[in-house]
Amino acid sequence: MSNFVDYVKIHCKSGHGGAGSAHLRREKYIPKGGPDGGDGGRGGHIIMKGNAHEWTLLPLRYTRHIKAENGQPGGKNQLTGRFGEDVYIEVPVGTIAKNEDGDVIGEILEDGQEVILMHGGKGGLGNEHFKSATNQTPRYAQPGLPGEEGYIVFELKILADVGLVGFPNAGKSTLLSAVSAAKPKIADYAFTTLTPNLGIVDYRNYKSFVMADIPGIIEGAAEGKGLGHRFLRHIERNSILLFLIPADSEDHFQEFKILENELKEYNPELLNKQFIVSISKSDLLDAKLEEEIAAEFPEHMQPLFFSAVTGQGLQELKDKIWKILHDCSQKIIPLK
């Protein structure tokens, strides 16, 4: 079973507000002290908090219900009731929270960021607030307001500098294992990778960047076929898209166009991202075949050839990625 969990649905309930007090002050030498009831305390919030040390929603996988504490009622001598304790749900950076209707409540983009998902109910006012010249001893107070309740969906869209895009068996997992310490599952059948894998790629002079091996697309993925949206949502947070077309593909440019179309069908804004086209498994090719494959592509998207098995072209590929990531003068040519 994979330890990467990117979707969790939890029933949440924030705390009710405490009731206000209707206490009347009665002391030995103050027989008509008047109202002195305090306000009720606020109910506890449900709060989502970013944690850079978390990479998956796995800790929440078996959490079915989360409930915050109710606020305490107000007391005499205008004492406010204690606030209900807030509940913090720690999630990885890149997590989005949605309500049952699919509306986004908030998203976590940095470590320590907090988003209130459900507000605790407001505490009721004590009777001290209701005294007036015509009603000097009000014997009533407000009840606390109820908290919020419902299901919240947490979706993780991984944050990476480079996202690998390609059909199953395009060589994405092999590339990630060759350039980083990540150990994704590799085998000769479709959908070996069922969940995203992250790897830190070492670059020159102790620099590095993050690469994401994302489950392979098939034609119709935008409509939910194959791994469908479960795959596509992870592409949205990648700075660069690296298209991998295997050298043994029957039609390299057509395969690229199918991948491009699936991104467009899912979210047209993805076509504005910077991208690199590459031909994997190039150890299967000679110089003449490389020229023929390159001729299939337009001049502005000439592919890079590499082999993760032999190491051929890997440094050139990393140089290209680094240049795009850090050269602000690099011209971005969108897909569309």
| Sequence ranges of the binding site for GTP | 166-173, 191-195, 213-216, 280-283, 307-309
Cα end-to-end span (Å), the chain: 38
Q: Give the SS3 label for residue 334.
A: coil
- Tokens 């050139």 appear where? 316
Task: List binding-site positions.
Answer: 166-173, 191-195, 213-216, 280-283, 307-309
Cα–Cα distances in Å, from 251 out to 28, 165, 170, 308?
96, 17, 13, 21
Radius of gyration of the chain (CA): 29
Hey, what's the torsion of the CAs at 127, 129, 130, 132, to 10 degrees? 130
Contact criterion met (CB below 8 Å) for 246 and 303: no
**Is beta strand 95-98 parallel, antiparallel or unpaired with respect to 149-156?**
antiparallel
Q: If phi over 0 gives left and psi between -120 and 50 gives alpha, with beta otherwise, what is residue 261?
A: alpha
DSSP secondary structure letters along 45-113 = PEEEEE-TT--SSGGGTT--EEEPPPPPPPBTTTBPPPPPPPEEEEE-TTEEEE-TTS-EEEE--STT-
Task: List binding-site positions for Mg(2+).
Answer: 173, 193
Nearest residue to 143 via CA among 241, 71, 94, 66: 71
Per DSSP, 29 falls in state T
